Structures are given as C-alpha cells and as structure tokens.
Copies of this chain bind each other. A is one copy, B any other.
Amino acid sequence: METTYRSIFKWGDKREEKLEKGIIELVKEQFNYTDEDFKKKVLYGNQQVKLDKMTSIPESTRRKFIEIAGSENVRWDDYSRASHAFGKFYGDLLYLRKGEIATPPDLVISPRTEKEIEQILLLCQQENIAITPVGGLSSVTRGVETPRGGISLDLTKHLNKILKVNTVNSTVRVEPGAYGPALEKHLNDCGYTCGHFPQSFEYSTVGGWVAARGAGQASTGYGKIEEMVLALRVITPAGIIETKDFPATAEAWDLNKIFIGSEGTLGVITSVTLKIRKYRPENDAFASFVFKDFKSATQCMREIMQAGFGFPHLFRLSDSVETATAFKIKGFDNSFSDRFLKMKGYRPGERCLMFVSIEGDKEYTHLVKKKIKKIARKSGGFYSGEKPVKEWLKQRYESAYLRDPLMDVGVMTDTVETSVNWDNLLNLWTQVRNYLESREKTHVMAHISHVYENGANLYFTFLSPMKQGDEMEDYLNYHSGLIDAIHNNGGSLSHHHGIGRALAPWMEKEMGKTAMGLLQAIKDNLDPKGIMNPGNTLGLK
C-alpha cells in the first residue's frame, strides 16, 4: 500500500492522472508556461508519511475504545491519522504536499453500530476528547479537520447501508456513510433516483451531503439536500434526536433543519430518510443554447424560472470566459459551427453556453423543453442541440479531478461559490470577477448551476500560477479578499459548499451577533462539553 502524502490528497481516481491537451494549451497561453514548466513537479508530496507526534490518547483510553468498536476499527498509525487530518480545501492540499500535518486526529475509529457511537460519545465526554464525524472527507471548507486532535469518526466503513426503500412513500432510509454511487445504483435498480449529484458525488457520502447542506447538479429540479431530507436520526452528546418522515408538519419548528448544515458540530447523524423519485432516463429531455452575452442569458434563466411551467433539473450557464475555455478545450474553436455562430453574431469572449435537462414524465419533459426553447429564442439564444449536454453529463464529475494535476505544475486553482438574488446577480458577478482578475495572470471562469425563482448561485473557478515558496499565504490572502468581495457585494457566504473553518471568520458579520448567539446556544445544549467537531467550525466556540 502506498503511504505517501500524495496518496492522501489524490482522490485515487485515474481521471486525475494527466491534463487534457486543451488545458495544457490554456495554461501555456495564459501563464506563459513552456513545456519545461510542465516537467517540473511542484510540491509533489511524494515523501512517506511520518508524523512528529504519537497519538496523545493514552493506551488505557485507547483500550476502552477498542473494547467498544473492536481492534480492527480503532487505528492510530501515522498513515491512518494523516489521511484523516484534512479535507479538500486548497490549503489542505498545500499542507499535504509539503508534508505538514499540525493537528492530525489521535485516533481513527470506524464504529459498527449506532450503539457504539453512543458509547464513544459518552467516553469522549467523560475524557474530554474531541470527535469529528467524517464521510468522504471531501469538504472544501475545512469542515473535517481536527485542530484539537481527538477522534476522526469514520462512518464509511460500516455505517454505509441502505436500510429501506419505501416505494409507497417514495423514500429511502440510508446510513450516513453510504457513498453517492452506491446509493444511486441501489435506487436505480429499484427504479428510483435520489436526484442529488454534487460535484463530489463519487467520493462523498449522504451524511456529508446533509451535514454540509449541499446541492447537486440537478438541484434546480430536485432541490438542495434540505428539500430532500424527510427525517434524521442524530446521536448528540445530550441524547438521541429522531425526527419522523411525515411529509410535512406544524409541530413547532422544524428540527431537521437544525441538523442540515450543522457540519458535525451537534452530533453524529446515523440515518437519513430522503425523498426519492422515479428513475426514467428514457424520458429525459436535453437542450443547449448559446447566448450573445451573460446578461441576456441570465434574464432568460430568470424568465424560465418564473414562468410557471415547472423547472429544469440541470440548469447551467457558463459565463463568457468559461464558455470560451470550454470551447477551446473541447476543440470547438474554428470548427464549422464556431464560424457559423460567429457569423450570426455570437462572438467569442461574449457568448455564453447554457445546458438544460428535464426529468420526469415524458410529455412533461417535452413540454418544458419546448417552453424553454421558446423563451430562449426570444432572448436571442441559439439552440445548439442535445449533444453538448449529453457529452457534458458523461464527464460531469471530472472537473474535480483537474485540480491536483494543475497543482502538480504549480498552478493554484480553486472554486468559490455564493448565492444571490436576481436583482444583484450581474453586479455581484462583475465585482467578484473584477476582484479575481485584479491578480495578474489569473484565469477566471464563472457559471450558474443552481437556479431558483428568486435568484441563483454563482460559481467561480480561478487558475493562477502559485507564488512559489509562499504558496499558502499568497492563497489565503487572495481567498480572503475574494470572500470579502462576495460578502461586501451582497452574496451569501456559501450556496452549497458550507462554512467549515474556512469561512467561519465571516459568520458573525454575515449573521449578526444575536444569530451567532443562537447558533452557539443550540450547540451548547446538544454538546455541552464542546467535543463535536470543535475549533471554530461555523464560527462556533
């Protein structure tokens, strides 16, 4: 088994092994990279993992944990600890590439049952040991690290079962450690779909989706995870909270909503009941459009969302730079279609690409597509067929695997996302773009991928050469200015990545003092000793 730092920060997916030709050309062109630059490996992280400190949990306590969970499920070797020290925040990857792990967990425990989790939590309370529940460790907001050491509670090894598909109620009950593909495969085999396809789908878990309040690529139709969760069971240090899967209630306020987005700070989610929908890919309708500019395309999106004929499921709009980048990478530039589009006035550097898919009943998907085509045409959208969407869907998760090979050649690359109301969308997009482009040699792309009647998200991707030798501070400064730009221009701190520790410093400014006091009071009630994912997650004490 490979035990390098590199083996930790890599997803272990073969799609991340090399860069596409189009990307290499982009980097050469934008950053004046030469072939030589692509041969130098920057912060490759190929050294063997070796931690400075042994686990600080004494043997007598470790023995108690082993009694609870079994010796094969309690690990404190360097590699196990190192591989649970970080998520996928850009800074995490830098630390791993440098072989710097300041605060690894002391133990990695993989509980087999809910009862074991209860016992582990009890022991952690008695001994004041921090505990962080983790799934796929794909947090990009520093949500899973262990600044106080303690336990990384791995839910993926055993608590990954699909407990019950109820086709009458159209629900599934599932354990938190189930990964996206396993859940979706099981549901598809039963004729259903979960409808939740975050970018991290292949390496993230149901528990993580709920804890981080995520959204999938089809969220415009299916909703964010908070719209899918009907019931939860959560082991908190204060006891068990279990909600029921009623379709709706007026039983005081909705407790599900307190755990969705709680990022492990309140307890361990041990089961989730989700809405499911019929899986009928043969009914899916697809459409792609090219618009003359971002403004007309966003107006079209808004009109579609407010038209009252239902929503597309996938609804995505790349801004002009992202569109141009995609066209370049996919070899579209100077093709016949490209020349045709240019002739029609869809100019590179201005034109924007929109993707649509609609799921459900066949006549319904056809009607919605027809309606969308009509509105798009009116807004100057050129219908470019189904194929671009279908092609995109085939590689829908790939962009997540681009980051590591780019970092290998010294390119800083990250994504940040926000949500905004329609009447502020163009302003926010402009201001954040301006900020990002104020850094020299920076390639900035943006898209909208989660759309609502009242607004949308904005998702920014940037590529820029690392400031070598000063990679971390350089990144953190840039990132901090970026969040300021979003916050000061009326965007939310996050639409679906969550807050973690990365965005925690902005929480009080965003929420206000009284609201932060309320969040803390909820935390204090359920976790009076402060053992659950401690250390500033969500800005909590």
User: Contact at A309–B361, with CB atoms within 8 Å?
Assistant: yes
Q: How far is the CA of A103 from the CA of B421 in the complex (A)?
A: 46
Q: Which residue of B310, B492, B518, B526 is within 8 Å of A246 (Cβ)?
A: B492
Q: Is A307 an interface residue (CB 8 A)?
A: yes
| Contact (A258, B419) CB under 8 Å given A252-B499, A360-B308, A454-B169 | no
Q: How would residues 302 to 339 of chain A score, 1 for a CB under 8 Å from any chain B CB and 0 otherwise?
A: 10001111100000000000000000000000000000
Report which residue of A241, A246, A371, A507 has the largest number of chain B beta carbons within 10 angstroms of its beta carbon: A246
User: Contact at B247–A251, with CB atoms within 8 Å?
Assistant: no
Q: Which residues of chain A (239-292) have a CB below 8 Å from chain B?
A: 239-255, 257-263, 275, 277-278, 280, 283
User: Contact at A360–B257, with CB atoms within 8 Å?
Assistant: no
- How many chain A residues touch B (CB < 8 A): the figure is 93
Closest to A360 in B: B308
Collect the chain B residues with CB atoms within 8 Å of residue A351's CB: none
Interface window among A45-53, A212-220, A391-399: A212-220
Report which residue of A245, A252, A283 has the largest number of chain B beta carbons within 10 angstroms of its beta carbon: A252
Closest to A212 in B: B250
Q: Which residues of chain A (198-222) have a CB below 8 Å from chain B?
A: 212-215
Q: How far is the CB of A255 from chain B (nearest CB, A)?
A: 6
Q: How far is the CA of A453 from the CA of B80 in the complex (A)?
A: 43
Q: How far is the CA of A526 from the CA of B515 in the complex (A)?
A: 9
Q: How far is the CA of A112 from the CA of B68 in the complex (A)?
A: 61
Closest to A513 in B: B239
User: Contact at B522–A526, with CB atoms within 8 Å?
Assistant: no
Q: How far is the CA of A307 from the CA of B302 in the complex (A)?
A: 26
Q: How far is the CB of A332 from chain B (nearest CB, A)?
A: 32
Q: Which residue of B214, B254, B309, B492 is within 8 Å of A261 (Cβ)?
A: B254
Q: How would residues 222 to 247 of chain A score, 1 for a CB under 8 Å from any chain B CB and 0 otherwise?
A: 00101000100000101111111111
User: Contact at B244–A253, with CB atoms within 8 Å?
Assistant: no
User: Contact at A166–B423, with CB atoms within 8 Å?
Assistant: yes
Q: How far is the CA of A521 from the CA of B497 in the complex (A)?
A: 28
10 A-B Cβ contacts within 8 A?
A213-B252, A230-B454, A238-B517, A241-B512, A246-B455, A247-B421, A248-B496, A255-B515, A309-B360, A518-B526
